[in-house]
Amino acid sequence: MTDDELATIITRLLKNGVPPTAIADTFNLDVQIVKDLLADERVRKFGTTELGEALHQLMWDALEGMRDAMKNAPVAKRMQVNMTLLSRASAMIGSQEPDSVAKLQNEMSKMMAEVRSIPVDAGTSIYELTSTDAPTDDSEERSPG
């Protein structure tokens, strides 16, 4: 078996969740070689070997997706999201250092300014969702007949 074939087999095993130590023991390899192959695979797949970095990037992607969704959301939904964000942000601010608090407040202010700058269509009022002109369906008011 060539080194390339072995590397391919090890990579497939890693992709299927086999632990690096089990693979190293099976093929009588140094566990660090297998861990390096796992690190390479994670860089190819996620762009990093660090879970914190990957989660950080996912959070930014989620924020970008939420901004895009908010541009087309009805006013009531935007207000709901804004209130949720503000409550979470205020909880986070309580546990931050003064410099990071100022940075977070600045970022929140920028984000809220962007949300406020999104034009609101007058036809998306939450009060237009229920028709007040529709006939009532009150069977007690009907006369037998």
Q: For 70-127, what is each residue's pLDDT tens digit? A: 888 888 888 888 888 887 777 766 666 667 767 777 777 777 777 777 666 655 555 5
- What residues does each domain of the chain span? 3-46, 51-118
* pLDDT for residue 130 is more than 60: no
Sign of dihedral through CA atoms 13, 18, 20, 24? negative
> Nearest CA to 118 among 81, 65, 67?
67
pLDDT value at position 93?
66
In the predicted model, is pLDDT for residue 140 greater than 70? no
Report pLDDT for 51: 84
pLDDT value, residue 63: 84
What's the predicted TM-score (pTM) here?
A: 0.42
24: pLDDT strictly greater than 90: yes
Counting every residue written for the chain, the total comes to 145
State pLDDT tens for residues 25-73. Answer: 999 999 999 999 998 888 888 888 888 888 888 888 888 888 888 888 8
Res. 128 pLDDT band, cuts 50 70 90: low
CA distance 107 to 102: 9
d(CA 21, CA 10): 11
